[in-house]
Structure 1
């Protein structure tokens, strides 16, 4: 049996995972994050993003990391419902705005999808997803839109998922420095 040491123990951090989907909550728990859920948070477009935003703002007070998950864009991609996928992305955008507008200045926001799920394919694909890192001391590039095409030209370039997470850990001062 493989023994996994939670990332919260490895880095000596505290985290919460806000989601309406049991798989995500389970992975968060394995990572050492406190699972935060409510029956108003679902894995679909009817999820309560206002509640998720409020909980994220509450949780960041006592945590180093708060992971907020939105499943709806993936679901709508699988279901080949492009107009509903657009609505789900607009809800996500509104949730990020609610969080950003009330977030303390010393907090970073990182945004990414775990994979691409184009409606016309209906399955996960290997296409790169847009990523965003925003916060104190972050160099601002010329990009001011968050989408696949604009982010491809952003200052972060194309990085792998583990590099994205390692970048967050580095910003938190939790990564051992390399070199002299």
Structure 2
């Protein structure tokens, strides 16, 4: 039990970050991580001993996220208006950093789920190609090619946003 806690506990912040990047909602990301940890604790004995605990946990999280996406596509998203925070109903100020961050998030959202997953696992969560391949259940070569194409597509999308500022909200100075 101590071995399991020692291996899992340091990974929780990374799991939360990856979950948030997949679902873009803090409470849903927390639920996803909780489900992941519950499943990991429940099935700890079924884990392949040679398998890296980090890759194994990210695989569980990734598969749970895919299951949720499929469920949402079938049933639609449920959102109780009483449960929505006021901050979710408003927009943050649109200074340059916020706009660049929004451009990056928008470009990431336009990537296909396969490209987005590989760029987040390798670029944000710092998994090796082998670990990312294990999480996604694809060969290492597929991870490398998807990552290359994802980076290229992301650069194109960000360049398009920079080239067409008319699509961004206009800032007005009011005295």
TM-score normalized by the length of structure 2: 0.31
More helix by share: 2
Work out which of the two has the higher radius of gyration on C-alpha atoms and give 1 or 2: 2
More strand by share: 1
Tell me which of the two structures has the higher relative contact order, counting C-alpha pairs closer than 8 angstroms and 6 or more residues apart. 2
TM-score normalized by the length of structure 1: 0.30
